[in-house]
Every structure is written in structure tokens, then in C-alpha cells.
Amino acid sequence: MTQGSIKNSDEAETLALEVLQFVLADEVLQGRFMSITGITPIDFRQAVHEKEFLGGVLDFLLGNETDLLKFCEEYQIDPEQPSIARRLLPGYTNSD
């Protein structure tokens, strides 16, 4: 997914899967993600099909501005898009 605004939950899921790919491709991010979530490689097969998990993937990215900006640069998207996508998936809580 490149530039453009996230408009629905399907696009939000697609972006979350791209974030997951980005996280898993980096050993440091992957280790941090696995440590924070407690998920095992075996659990991934089922988890990637769960919207709540994908929301958590976006939460993970949104929790670190440096990683967020690196992802957005690499995937050529506006840094607001992951936040918009997060609001479209289950489990979102507004912390404002």
C-alpha cells in the first residue's frame, strides 16, 4: 500500500499486515515485538487472521515514533495513516 488515505477496515488490515512484515524483517523490532506481545512463531498463523491482533501490531508501531517514521518512509505513506488505520480496527481506545 502506498500513498492514499485509509478508508475502511480492509485497507486498515492490509496496512497492519505490511507493518507486521516490516517488524518481522528487522531482528531488533521482531525481538521487541515478540517480547512485548509474548506471541510465539507458532501462534502467528492464527493471529494474523484476527483483527484484534492486527490492531495490536499497529499499536506496537505507533508506540515508537522512530519506527513509525522509518516504516512510513519505507512504504511511502503519510505518518497519519497508521493512526487512522488503528481507529478502524477492534480494540482501539482513545487515550486523549
The pTM assigned to this predicted structure is 0.89
The domain ranges of the chain are 9-87
User: What CA–CA distance (Å, rounded) separates 47 from 45?
Assistant: 6
Of residues 40, 46, 71, 41, the one with CA closest to residue 85: 71
pLDDT category at 91 given cuts 50, 70, 90 is: confident
Residue 94: what residue type? N
pLDDT for 25-76, tens place per residue? 999 999 999 999 888 888 888 899 999 999 999 999 999 999 999 999 999 9
